[in-house]
Amino acid sequence: MPGGFDRKTSSQSAGVEERSNRRYRMSVDIGRIAVLALTVSWPHFPLVAEHGDARRWLQLTANVGRAPNIVDAYGRAVDDHLRFCRSVGADPLTSGPDVIAAWIGDLHERPNSRAATVLHVHSLVGLSNATIHQRIIAVRSFYEYLVEDGLRERNPVPRGESAGEAGRRGGALCVSSSALPGFPTS
């Protein structure tokens, strides 16, 4: 299992037939079906674990049958976002799009851990566009949960615009870039 997830059965009684499926396992016990919940290993996501709303959101994400690697990636993304919020003194329940934009800017400026193996000069800083998009999607999902739960009025992470369209108007959260190959300059 990726990251920190364990499978726990909801029924450990004798005579329970277990069937496997790609997304989750089921226990069948005389006329009732109990879905086996994916249990999150909270030490991998310490800030999510201590933030009650984030903890409920990640457990819900696991319980609805998301793949363990998706739950792991979402947990890491929201843990990273909560760490950023803490560093700038922002509360996720009240922060606005300005905090989201600052967080995304931070993602673009971080040292790249793979810089030594990358040939392009632009790759020395910042996370890859794919990683940034994945983190934005996870944080958007977390904020949607907060809105649905009545803890926020609106989601500060916009959706529904392609980066190309929004980029021309200046509204994209993360505009994809394609770097030209680096040529040596004598």
- Give the residue from 132, 134, 156, 133 showing the smallest Cα distance to 143: 156
User: Which two tokens mark 5?
Assistant: 């997830």
Distance of alpha carbon 120 from alpha carbon 157, whole angstroms: 30
Digit-coded pLDDT (tens) for 35-53? 455 678 889 999 999 999 9
Please check whether residue 84 is in contact with residue 120, taking contact to mean a CB–CB distance below 8 angstroms: no
- Give the residue from 101, 41, 103, 96 showing the smallest Cα distance to 77: 103
Domains, the chain, with CATH or none = 42-169 (1.10.150.130)
Largest CA distance in the chain: 77
Please check whether residue 78 is in contact with residue 88, taking contact to mean a CB–CB distance below 8 angstroms: no
Instruction: Give percent above pLDDT 90 in the chain.
Output: 45
Digit-coded pLDDT (tens) for 50-81? 999 999 999 999 998 898 899 999 999 999 99
The predicted model scores a pTM of 0.67
Distance of alpha carbon 10 from alpha carbon 151, whole angstroms: 30
